[in-house]
């Protein structure tokens, strides 16, 4: 039972004579509406179900009790033991609206910038527990929405992941942060993720080296040559998977879209990155990658038995395999140069070829292997989840599914009648299909937001972000803001028909649509993500009809479908 329904049951029960009074005789505690800690209480009369009920008892109830105890301890620490904590640390309580910022603002500022109104929450933990509670709910954006109403602004101060932070759900402020260079903001990630990525990851690199790697990757991923190869590989792999669906159940089968999409997209992307074909090494790499990615959001404890420790070991095994491929390619390049000294143009087959061909001494084997692993992450999360969410939303919107089917069937019959195979340009020309993908990206919010760290006092559209503070650019709150996108919780692909197709994340109204990030760190693979999703959807709707089973979206720590989106497919005749 959802927590808010359990709470209503406890307040309305006739067994609680004064339901809104504090009375420990029947355990009625009015919790903070922002934190809502659970209380463990097993009532045979069912008058109080603060954490649900049944067998097994929800494990979250234990966590809730511990959280409540920690918060009580934090209150004692805050007001009795260490009342001078903030003043002695140099971190002052956020100013109320209208209070000027202290001296030392951003260079070139008018001096009128102010730290946004807000609260640093509890000592040490700040507002992180409230953020996580919201993130686990069906509406993670509620954390931002409540504070937006409370402070009267889409930009406010909080304290998240151990640091004071400014949270932005303002499209213009968010766009300015994304467009800023490393002289103002640098990337910030949780410690476990930083540990796994390493200092040479494109996610944390800065300056000229980051621009070089990002530029090389972006140019390669957007190249017509790669798109043509990815299209051919994807068509072949999707066709093989769907043939298996037909065989497995004599013409009808139940498949989990999320699992199928992960398997297909991983193989396609790995081949584009490191040139590895299907086989034993591909399976080994995927096995290690699953262990690696499980530690990206984990406790930063690196001892045997922990997830972070296992993930680091898995990364070492992946690195060994990838560096073997890099060294083989280096030897091959030397041999080709010796055999054909007059040939100066080489056509890269994969991303490793692109980086090796750049000839920069900074692009070491370690840097290349680390970034190949980083570039594999969308194959596990972003693209498969995009495909899965599209199937879910289409299943819930028959009109959109019908129009998508008509558009794709028309293309299939036209190309078949001409005796031609589909090219990548054909898939990207499917206008309504692209609208479906765009709307899925807006509603699904596969990337909820990004965090940056201010390297100096920075003024952004009248808001002062002090040096050392974090900035959370929260995409989800913008994408689901009724003032930006009307009726935001409705799946409506037609909303994009009157706009230019937002292939670039920073278009669509000054930061109002940013599913791929923005600025110098705009996701270089956004075109491939759209292409792969288009190919999968085309073959699904032209080859099958399906009935979707009930499933729910899980938003934290990463977006996914709880059951993997099972659908019962029936081949078209």
pLDDT at 3: 37
8 A C-beta contact, residue 389 and residue 553: yes
Query: In the chain, what are the domain boundaries?
Result: 3-81, 97-188, 207-571
pLDDT at 510: 61
pLDDT at 412: 96
Which CA distances in Å does 427 have to 223, 433, 533? 16, 8, 10
Assign 43 a pLDDT band (cuts: 50, 70, 90). Answer: very low
Assign 343 a pLDDT band (cuts: 50, 70, 90). Answer: low
Task: Look up residue 244 and give its two tokens.
Answer: 């298996």
pLDDT above 90: residue 173: yes
Q: What is the DSSP letter of 50?
A: B
Residue 219 neighbours by CB under 8 Å, 6+ apart: 354
CB atoms < 10 A from the CB of 339, how many?
8
The H or E element that residue 453 is part of is: strand 449-454
Assign 25 a pLDDT band (cuts: 50, 70, 90). Answer: very low
8 A C-beta contact, residue 198 and residue 372: no
Question: Which residues fall in the annotated binding site?
Answer: 523
Which of 97-101, 187-191, 337-341, 379-383 bottoms out in mean pLDDT, i.e. has the lowest?
A: 97-101
pLDDT above 90: residue 69: no
Which of 171-185, 291-305, 321-335, 398-412 bottoms out in mean pLDDT, i.e. has the lowest?
A: 291-305
pLDDT above 60: residue 40: no
What residues pair up with 544 in beta bridges, in sequence order? Answer: 571
Question: Which residues fall in the annotated binding site for heme?
Answer: 523
| 308-326: average pLDDT | 96
| 237-256: average pLDDT | 85
Pick the CATH number of 207-571 from 2.30.110.10, 3.40.50.2300, 3.40.50.1820, 1.10.630.10: 1.10.630.10
pLDDT tens per residue, range 421-453:
999 999 999 999 999 999 999 999 999 999 999
For residues 41 and 92, give the distance between their C-alpha atoms in angstroms, rounded to a whole number: 39
pLDDT at 380: 83
pLDDT above 60: residue 14: no
Which of 122-131, 183-192, 342-351 bottoms out in mean pLDDT, i.e. has the lowest?
A: 342-351
Which of 112, 167, 175 has its CA nearest to residue 464?
112
8 A C-beta contact, residue 504 and residue 487: no
User: For the chain, how are helix, strand and coil distributed in percent, rounded to 5?
Assistant: 50, 10, 40
pLDDT tens per residue, range 109-163:
445 789 999 999 999 999 999 999 999 999 999 999 999 999 999 999 999 999 9
pLDDT at 7: 38
CB atoms < 10 A from the CB of 520, how many?
15
pLDDT at 99: 41
pLDDT at 117: 96
pLDDT above 80: residue 94: no
For residues 173 and 42, give the distance between their C-alpha atoms in angstroms, rounded to a whole number: 48
Which CA distances in Å does 550 have to 392, 512, 564, 566? 9, 31, 10, 8
8 A C-beta contact, residue 97 and residue 151: yes
pLDDT tens per residue, range 217-237:
999 999 999 999 999 999 999
Q: What is the CA radius of gyration of the chain?
A: 26
Task: Look up residue 458 and give its two tokens.
Answer: 């920075």
Q: What is the DSSP letter of 102?
A: P
For residues 426 and 415, give the distance between their C-alpha atoms in angstroms, rounded to a whole number: 9
| 189-208: average pLDDT | 85
Q: What is the DSSP letter of 91?
A: -
pLDDT tens per residue, range 454-493:
999 999 999 999 999 999 999 999 999 999 999 999 999 9
Which of 535, 534, 503 has its CA nearest to residue 232?
535
pLDDT above 80: residue 73: no
């Amino acid at each position: 039972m959802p927590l808010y329904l359990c709470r209503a049951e406890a307040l309305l029960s006739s067994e609680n004579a004064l339901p809104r009074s504090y009375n420990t005789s029947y355990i009625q505690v009015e919790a903070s509406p922002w934190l809502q800690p659970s209380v463990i209480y097993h009532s045979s009369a069912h008058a109080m179900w603060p954490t649900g009920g049944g067998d097994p008892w929800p494990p979250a109830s234990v966590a809730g009790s511990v959280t409540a105890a920690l918060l009580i301890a934090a209150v004692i620490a805050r007001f009795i033991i260490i009342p001078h904590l903030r003043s002695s640390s140099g971190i002052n309580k956020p100013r109320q609206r209208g209070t000027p910022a202290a001296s030392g603002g951003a260079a070139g500022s008018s001096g009128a910038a102010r730290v946004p109104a807000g609260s640093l929450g509890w000592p040490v933990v700040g507002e992180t527990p409230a953020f996580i509670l919201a993130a686990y709910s069906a509406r993670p954006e509620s954390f931002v929405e409540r504070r937006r109403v409370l402070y009267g602004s889409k930009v406010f101060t909080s304290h998240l992941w151990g640091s004071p932070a400014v949270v932005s759900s303002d499209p213009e402020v968010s766009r300015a942060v994304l467009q800023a260079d490393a002289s103002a903001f640098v990337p910030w990630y949780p410690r476990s993720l930083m540990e796994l990525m390493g200092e040479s990851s494109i996610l944390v690199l800065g300056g000229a080296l980051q621009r070089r790697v990002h530029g090389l990757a972006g140019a390669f991923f957007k190249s017509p040559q790669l798109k043509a190869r990815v299209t051919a590989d994807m068509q072949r792999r999707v066709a093989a998977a769907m043939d298996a669906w037909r065989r497995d159940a004599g013409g009808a089968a139940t498949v989990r879209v999320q699992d199928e999409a992960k398997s297909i997209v991983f193989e396609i992307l790995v081949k584009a990155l490191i040139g590895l074909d299907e086989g034993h090494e591909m399976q080994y790499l995927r096995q290690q990658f699953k262990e690696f990615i499980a530690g990206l959001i984990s406790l930063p404890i690196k001892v045997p038995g922990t997830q972070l420790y296992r993930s680091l070991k898995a990364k070492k095994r992946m690195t060994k395999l990838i560096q073997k491929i890099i060294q083989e390619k280096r030897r091959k390049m030397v041999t080709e140069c010796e055999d054909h000294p007059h040939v100066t143009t080489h056509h890269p087959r994969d991303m490793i070829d692109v980086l090796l061909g750049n000839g920069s001494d900074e692009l070491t084997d370690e840097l290349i292997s680390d970034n190949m692993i980083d570039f594999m992450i969308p194959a596990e999360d972003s693209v498969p989840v995009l495909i899965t969410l599209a199937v879910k939303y289409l299943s819930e919107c028959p009109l959109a599914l019908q129009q998508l089917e008509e558009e794709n069937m028309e293309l299939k019959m036209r190309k078949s009648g001409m005796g031609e195979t589909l090219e990548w340009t054909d898939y990207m020309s499917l206008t309504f299909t692209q609208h479906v993908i765009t709307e899925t990206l807006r509603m699904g919010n596969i990337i909820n937001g990004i965090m940056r760290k201010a390297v100096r006092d920075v003024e952004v559209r009248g808001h002062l972000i002090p040096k050392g503070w974090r900035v959370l650019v929260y995409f989800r709150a913008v994408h689901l803001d009724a003032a930006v996108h009307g009726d935001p919780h409705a799946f409506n692909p037609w909303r994009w028909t009157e706009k230019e197709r937002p292939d670039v994340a920073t278009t669509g109204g000054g930061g109002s649509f940013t599913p791929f990030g923005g600025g110098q760190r705009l996701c270089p693979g956004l075109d491939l993500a759209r292409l792969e999703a288009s190919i999968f959807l085309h073959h699904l709707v032209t080859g099958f009809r399906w009935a979707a089973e009930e499933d729910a979206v899980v938003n934290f720590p990463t977006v996914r479908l709880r059951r993997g989106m099972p659908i019962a497919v029936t081949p078209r005749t």
